[in-house]
Structure 1
Amino acid sequence: MSETLVPPVRLGKLPIAALGILALALGTLQSVVEPALPLLQSELGVSPAEGALIANALLVTGAVAAPVAGKLGDRYGGRRVLLRLMAVVSAGGLLAALAPNLPVLLLGQVLQGVMVGALPLSFVLVRTHLPAGATQVAIGVVVALFTGGSVVGVLVAGPIAESLSRHWMFGLPTIVIAASALAVARLMPDDPPSRPDEGIDWAGMVLLSGTLLAFMLGLVTVTGTGLSPLAAGAVALAVAALATGWVAVERRAPSPMVDLRVLARPAIWSACVLTLVITTGAGMVLLLLPYLFAAPADGYGFGADTTEIGLLLLPGIVAGSVSDSVGGVAARRFGPRAVVVAGALVTAATMLALASLHTAAWQLVLAKVLTAFAAGVATTALLASTATAVEAGDTGIVTSLLVVTRVIGVALGVQLGGAILTAGTDPATGLPAESAFVTGFVTVGLVTALSLLVVRATKNTKNTKNTRKGVQA
């Protein structure tokens, strides 16, 4: 017989603040590597290919860790799992801070990658301790702080590394993570685990993790060193086989890791598809604009160096951070469908206009601000509304799948944008032609417009179901 669960304690401001500071510090630690790759290359003798491996190690681990952490949080309580996860992240940060060579730094990055699981665990906590409306707002704030931490990491990595050392670049955020985790442990009340008598679907967990790992490793390899058609086909077959096995196991498991009936709901699968489409477009923008800024100024580009590109992209990064906090409020007030439609229209119109007007830097900066804000509001609105649309016991796993979908979408967009620029490269100069960027911008607009079709399809599905219920009545 199931134990009697104690009603959850409502959260005050201090626990939410501790959770927010933790998210900010995690985002900071996640992003310090990218601007420091040249420094790491000189101090550790890291090649460009190895630098890409350092950056991608966290991404791959995060994609695998998020659904596992979310499910464990659903089963055993978000606070309990979050604190154990932060111990792993802190160990990874410490290893990266003390790393004397590349293998130790890579191990530190792999351990830090589990930080992505902190997002669904935070959603479990706020869902447990806050009413539905406040939950959507709190989720937006947590995501915004995590994204804002990325801005902080990019800005402080260089000054810290130059004034202190590369070791403190990892060490300082790790110290803040450890301190804020202790604050969460002290201030955050326990959340009762859901369905405590059910076992863990270890077979489903292993198969889902294997599917995501194979997919991310294949995608990273394609993006980095490239794969032959035969190798790419082998990876695709491996992913398909693992995914098929996972579905078969989940259908038969008495307590599946992911209830496929939940995923089959239009609100859930449409949220996943919409998130994938929106973030794919965002990933393409993420790649296209820096290359256009860096293109020679005597042609169609602006000849910007690394520092100048960072400053030009900064307004868009800030807009993306702000949009995450707005997304939860917008979902509560207008509903996720209206937010997605508005975001898709803004992005599609902006990118189609940019295909014609990209002769001034301010045009690209404005386009980055608009698209980053639109994508952030839409994806966070989907995340916040989904978190409150499922049973409390499914919050962690469902939101973690959306988090992973965001990661996959951005990676796919970067790969697609790179393929377009590669196909449009002039053999004589080795640089992409202006027409390649135009093709990329138009493609982003068309890809984002697909979200409007998904919204319409799910609306028709919902209307059909309501009509059938009325006929049966």
Structure 2
Amino acid sequence: MTVTLESPVRIGKPALGALGALALALGTLQAVVEPSLPLLQHDLGIGPAEGSLIFITLLITGAVVAPIAGKLGDRYGGRRVLVVLMTVVSAGGLISSVAPNLPVLLLGQVLQGAMVGALPLSFILVRKHLPPGQTQVAVGVVSGLFTGGSLVGMLIAGPIAEGLSRHWMFAIPTIAIIAATLVVARSMPDDPPAESGPRIDWLGVILLSCTLIALVLGFMAVTGGGLSPLATGAVTVVVAALATGWVAVERRVSSPMVDLRMLASPAMWSSCVVTLLMSLGFGMTVYLVPQLFSVSAEDYGFGADSSDIGLFLLPATIAGIAAGTVAGMASRRFGARAVITAGTIVTAGTLIVLSSLHDATWQLIVARALIGFAVSVSATALLASTATAVAAKDTGIATSLLVVTRVVGVALGAQAGGVILEAGTDPASDLPTEATFTTGFIIAGVIAALSLLVVRVMKKGTQP
């Protein structure tokens, strides 16, 4: 039996505002760990290696949950799945807030990682309850506020942890998430399930989850060094086998988790490839710029400490917030394809210029802000165009695949940046040479520029 919503109930400003507030609170909770990691390591008695597990745990959970949440939202309705997911996230935030040791904190982070699924679920709701033009703007606003939450989290984490305790830096955003979820549940119109009948493709869910986990952990293990060629080959075979098994299952089941015909459509596969390439270049930039800031001023760097770097990156975060709204309005007026092309050109061009102009602090600040703005504009335009290009029943899974691609791409790009610096480290000074940073920026620029080749094959009809 299929239930179709012929005349969707339009959502009002309170419901849309609640979605935005929820995105802001989620972004805040996600970002509080990074600036407070030294404090967490001291309080919990852990070292840097153990501390990095916090980020890895959140990443893996997010990558696994996003496509599942998107699929369940398509099947059972975005609002009800969003409320359930936010219940899980809230439980994770409360557990993190009272965590007495690392294992309990990691449990909290596992549950918090489910927040990544909130984005595709939000896109399902705005797609169902708004006309296409307004959908693009709403997607941009929600994405921008999620990014804005990262800024809030970075700014409030330190003062709250130092003025109150580390427990409150998790508790306060969690309370905001609970409040926003209650408002969403009350003000958002119900969206009936898109379809019912065949069971959820749980085997496909498990295989996709295992593939993503193996990909992220395998890449980190390989790039971290220490693996023999045989072990590296084994990791590659495992990832390939899992991916092949997932494709085989999706081709045979009657109701696949991901419709491979949708994935093979030009609008979908090109969006995924562009997102991956842009995210790889961006991830390398995210890693390289702070490292260059921190190099001693006696060498070729600027000798910046953590507080200085946070201030230097503030314009980039603000640019990322603005990009969400700008991308939605620009896509509505000029078309997604034009916006994506412009963002790609700015990103690649800025990285190439940065490879030779990085002698002053302002150059890095401006370049990082331009790159952050351009990448965010492109990513939001891709999400908005994909949300309106696929069938309504596939909105959640399609946008969640783009979200996962971006998360994984940034993580892999950052790891690749670390490998480049490690390979160019001078044994005498134990510092990467300046030429290594130049090489890294050029490689990141070339990777981003490759996106243009894919954008060219996008149909001009990509713009709604």
- TM-score relative to the length of structure 1: 0.95
Residues 4 and 194 in structure 2, CA contact (< 8 A), matched pair in contact too: no
Distance, in Å, in 2 between the alignment partners of 1:2 and 1:129 is 18
Paired residues of 1:52 and 1:224 also in contact (CA < 8 A): no
Match of 2:17 in 1: 17
Aligned length: 462
Q: CA RMSD in A?
A: 1.6
Distance 2:315 2:184 in 1: 31
Question: For 1:371-417, what per-residue CA distance to the aligned partner results, in whole angstroms no more than 9, with x for missing partners?
Answer: 11111101110110000001110000000000000001101211121
Match for residue 332 of structure 1? Answer: 332
Q: CA deviation at 1:457?
A: 3.6
Aligned to 2:66: 66
Range 144-153 or range 334-343, more displaced: 334-343
Assess, with a 3 A threshold, how the Cα gap between structure 1 residues 250 and 420 changes in structure 2: closer, same or farther: same
For residues 82 and 171 of structure 1, what CA distance do their matches in structure 2 show? 20
Whole-Å separation in 2 of the counterparts to 1:285 and 1:275: 15
* Greater shift in the superposed pair: 67-76 or 178-187: 178-187
Residue in 1 aligned with 2:297? 297
Following the alignment from structure 2 to structure 1, what is the Cα–Cα distance between the partners of residues 5 and 35? Answer: 47
1:188 is matched with 188
2:172 partner letter: L
Asked if 1:306 is matched to 2:293, the reply is no
User: What does 1:422-461 correspond to in 2, within 5 Å?
Assistant: 422-458=422-458
Residue 459 of structure 1 and its aligned partner are, at CA, apart by 5.2
Match in the other structure for 1:355:
355
State the match for 1:216 in structure 2: 216
- Indicate the residue corresponding to 1:343 in structure 2: 343
The answer to which of 209-218 and 282-291 deviates more is 209-218
| 1:427-471 deviation digits (Å, cap 9, x = unpaired) | 1011000000110111121111101111224459x99xxxxxxxx
Q: Which residue of 2 aligns with 1:148?
A: 148
Instruction: Please say which of residues 165-174 and 330-339 is displaced more in the overlay.
Output: 330-339
- Other-structure match for 2:381: 381
- In 1, Cα distance between equivalents of 2:98 and 2:383: 36
8 Å CA contact 1:6–1:192 kept in 2: the answer is no
2-structure distance, mates of 1:182, 1:6: 27
- Preserved contact between residue 224 and residue 419 of structure 2 (Cα < 8 Å): no
Question: Is the 8 Å Cα contact of residues 201 and 257 (structure 1) preserved in structure 2?
Answer: yes
- Say if 1:226 and 1:409 are closer, same or farther in 2 by CA, change over 3 A: farther
Is 1:38 the equivalent of 2:38?
yes
Equivalent residue letter for 2:12:
G
2:133 corresponds in structure 1 to 133
**Partner amino acid for 1:194?**
A
Q: 1:228 to 1:331 in 2, by over 3 A?
A: farther
TM-superposed deviation, 1:347: 1.6
Match of 1:243 in 2: 243
Partners of 2:377 and 2:345 lie apart in 1 by 13
Partner residue of 2:88?
A: 88
CA distance in 2 between partners of 1:162 and 1:177 (Å): 22
The corresponding residue for 1:108 is: 108
Residue type matched to 1:406 in 2? R
* Higher alpha-carbon deviation: 301-310 or 224-233: 224-233
Q: CA deviation at 1:336?
A: 2.0
| Structure 2 unaligned blocks of 5 or more | none
Shift of 1:5: 5.0
Match of 2:425, SS state, is: coil
What is aligned with 1:322?
322
CA distance in structure 2 between the aligned counterparts of 1:224 and 1:401, rounded to whole angstroms: 26
What is the CA-CA distance between 1:107 and the residue it aligns to? 0.3
- Structure 1 window deviating more from structure 2 (4-13 vs 62-71): it is 4-13
Residues 24, 148 of structure 2: 8 Å contact kept: yes
Instruction: Output the amino acid matched with 1:113.
Output: G
- Deviation for aligned residue 1:65: 0.2
Moved more, 411-420 or 160-169: 411-420
SS at structure 2 position matched to 1:197? coil
| Cα deviation, residue 46, structure 1 | 1.1
Return the alpha-carbon distance in structure 2 between the equivalents of residues 29 and 67 of structure 1: 21
1:279 aligns with 2:271: no
1:316-362 alpha-carbon deviations (Å, 9 max, x no partner): 11111211222222222222221122112112221221111111100
Q: Which position in structure 2 is the counterpart of 1:175?
A: 175
Provide the residue aligned with 1:55 in structure 2: 55
Shift of residue 298 of structure 1? 1.2
Aligned to 1:162: 162
- In structure 2, relative to structure 1, the CA distance for the partners of 1:222 and 1:363 (3 Å cut) is same
Q: CA deviation at 1:231?
A: 3.0
Deviation of residue 38 (structure 1)? 0.5
- 1:466 corresponds in structure 2 to none
